[in-house]
Chains A and B, each alone.
Chain A
Amino acid sequence: EVELVESGGGLVQPGRSLRLSCAASGLTFDDYAMQWVRQAPGKGLEWVSGISWNSGSIGYADSVKGRFIISRDNAKNSLYLQMNSLRPEDTALYYCAKDFQPYWGSYGMDVWGQGTTVTVSS
């Protein structure tokens, strides 16, 4: 069974940094693109970032571009999101999700983790 487990969330002050991790199991990790999606309290889903199987193609939402960095370590079956210059509007539940294909944004995301909560507040 494919499983994704996020970690690294927490309470952080505005302007500070946080690094999220997503550990994958039950799949050949480097066969698939991965994505981060977030959901602010009581709001809808918002795409954050996607990374192809070999890190050769990366995309970011305009709301996080220049502040967040997505990366992956295929040897460790892990996905990361480095979040810098955090703002209160970044407060959300952050999900990692597996894409159907090696390149993100084509077919959909078929496996999701349970999410990790990030709260940005002073």
Chain B
Amino acid sequence: SSELTQDPAVSVALGQTVRITCQGDRLRSYYVSWYQQKPGQAPVLVIYGKNNRPSGIPDRFSGSSSGNTASLTITGAQAEDEADYYCNSRDSSGNHVVFGGGTKLTVL
């Protein structure tokens, strides 16, 4: 089981805002990165470091964190945002990298 906990599935109406969360004991100490994965494709980094967005990622994607919870927010979700989203950070020992179990986002 993953040491980073994500809701398995979330849905959002087209154009609305959705928050995907990731909980972990050591998230106060380490950065969290977020990845988008569409069926049959490799993951794509959407948020890294201290809530930075790689070039080419729309500004409707943003990251935040509070305590042991990190969040990925999509403001004005589009149909093309329908995908699996994974958070990534260090585990409780700090010696390993770990992914959350993933959240399947459905855009209605």
User: Which interface class (under 10, 10 to 19, 20 to 34, 35 or more) fits A?
Assistant: 20 to 34
Whole-angstrom distance from the CB of A49 to the nearest CB of chain B?
A: 9
Task: Produce 1/0 per residue, B83-96, CB < 8 A to A.
Answer: 01010101000011
The segment out of A21-29, A72-80, A111-119 that lies at the interface is A111-119
A45 close to B44 (CB less than 8 A): no
Decide if A11 is an interface residue (CB 8 Å cutoff): no
A45 close to B96 (CB less than 8 A): no
B102 close to A45 (CB less than 8 A): yes
User: Which interface class (under 10, 10 to 19, 20 to 34, 35 or more) fits B?
Assistant: 20 to 34
Measured CB to CB, the residues of B under 8 A from A are 2, 30-31, 33, 35, 37, 42-45, 47-49, 54, 84, 86, 88, 90, 95-102
B101 close to A104 (CB less than 8 A): no
Measured CB to CB, the residues of A under 8 A from B are 35, 37, 44-47, 50, 59-62, 95, 100, 104-110, 112-115
